[in-house]
């Protein structure tokens, strides 16, 4: 891969650790001061021309299953094993590599970040016209690594995206009263943000792009070990929250599961969860 014109140099050997650390340090104050929760939006984090070339090799979704429920509609996910193009696979690997972790740690002040080799929920995302992802806070514990989820990275791959097509990432305040940030999914635009129990985000309105277009992005997630006093913290799955005055539907099964975990005696939880699955 050729020399990058983006913020982070990306060459044949991948990212440069020193340049990544310097870039993260330069943006750290801006990240920490952002509302409604720590985040940053960076145009051209990686050379948009390089990303446009890679996006041309986006995986074929023919025959692949997608999310189709009230909270998450017409959304596909592609893990590295679903991707044939070596350039896309290499970029995903580099976003999980040591040099890029230097950037994230310097940017966010979170040390000891661990990438996810299974790309649980991550990889490449594609949402079709009419699709959406309701406002939510992400799950807090990786089921295989047993680590605490800390950061999301999104890099958009949508060349020529038009405002009337929608698809903006929304970030809501902790009380779910108002949207404070909207981010158009433009080619080369990257978003990094903390993932806490009240880091509410999503793109909740149905996409209005033409039938031959879709909303595409790279998504990678990062973890740390739990502090000793939180090692036994309750596990939380993705929690969807309805916007005030909207027709958004909460995921009541998840809410009931969390109630069971917090309030039902341990010896009865398995039975209660079985009943909840058949509601």
| CATH number (domain holding residue 165) | 2.60.120.620
pLDDT confidence bin for 197, thresholds 50/70/90: very high
Burial 36-69 (b: 16+ CB within 10 A, else e): bbbbbbbebbbbbebbeebbeebbeeeeeeeeee
Higher pLDDT, 219 or 249: 219
- CA–CA gap between residue 259 and residue 185 (Å, rounded): 35
5 domain-assigned: no
Identify whether residues 199 and 132 lie together within a single domain: yes
pLDDT score of 252: 66
What is the mean predicted confidence (pLDDT) over 217-239? 87
| Among candidate residues 106, 199, 119, 122, the one with its CA nearest the CA of residue 155 | 122
First to last CA, the chain: 52
Residues 49-99 have pLDDT tens digits of 999 999 999 999 999 999 999 999 999 999 999 999 999 999 999 999 999
Q: What percent of the chain has pLDDT over 70?
A: 88
Residue 235 has pLDDT above 90, yes or no: no
pLDDT confidence bin for 277, thresholds 50/70/90: low
What is the mean predicted confidence (pLDDT) over 115-132? 97
Identify whether residues 153 and 255 lie together within a single domain: no
Residue 162 has pLDDT above 50, yes or no: yes
What is the pTM for the complete model shown?
0.89
Domain count, the chain: 2
* Residue 95 neighbours by CB distance under 10 Å: 24
Higher pLDDT, 253 or 189: 189
What is the mean predicted confidence (pLDDT) over 115-144? 96
Identify whether residues 55 and 115 lie together within a single domain: yes
pLDDT score of 34: 98
Which domain covers residue 213, as residue numbers? 10-237
């Amino acid at each position: 891969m050729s020399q990058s014109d983006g913020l982070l140099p990306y060459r044949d050997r991948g990212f440069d650790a020193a340049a990544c650390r310097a870039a993260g340090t330069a943006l750290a104050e801006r990240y920490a001061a952002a509302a409604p929760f720590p985040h940053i939006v960076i145009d051209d984090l990686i050379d948009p021309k390089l990303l446009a070339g890679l996006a041309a090799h986006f995986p074929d979704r023919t025959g692949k299953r997608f999310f189709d429920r009230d909270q998450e509609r017409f959304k596909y996910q592609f893990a590295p094993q679903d991707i044939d193009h070596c350039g896309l696979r290499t970029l995903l690997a580099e976003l999980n590599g040591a040099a890029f972790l230097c950037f994230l740690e310097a940017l966010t002040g979170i040390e000891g970040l661990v990438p996810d080799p299974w790309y649980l929920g991550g990889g490449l995302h594609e949402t079709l016209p009419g699709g959406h992802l309701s406002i939510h806070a992400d799950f807090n514990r990786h089921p295989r690594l047993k680590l605490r989820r800390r950061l999301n990275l999104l890099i958009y791959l949508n060349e020529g995206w038009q405002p009337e097509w929608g698809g903006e990432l929304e970030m809501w305040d902790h009380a779910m009263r108002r949207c404070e940030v909207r981010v158009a999914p433009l080619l080369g635009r990257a978003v990094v943000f903390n993932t806490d129990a009240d880091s509410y985000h999503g793109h909740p309105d149905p996409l209005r792009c033409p039938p031959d277009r879709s909303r595409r992005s790279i998504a990678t997630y990062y973890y740390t070990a739990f502090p000793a006093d939180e090692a036994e913290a309750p596990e939380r799955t993705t929690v969807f929250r309805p916007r005030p005055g909207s027709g958004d539907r909460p995921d009541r099964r998840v809410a009931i599961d969390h109630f069971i975990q917090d309030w039902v005696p341990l010896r009865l939880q398995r039975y209660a969860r079985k009943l909840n699955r058949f509601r």
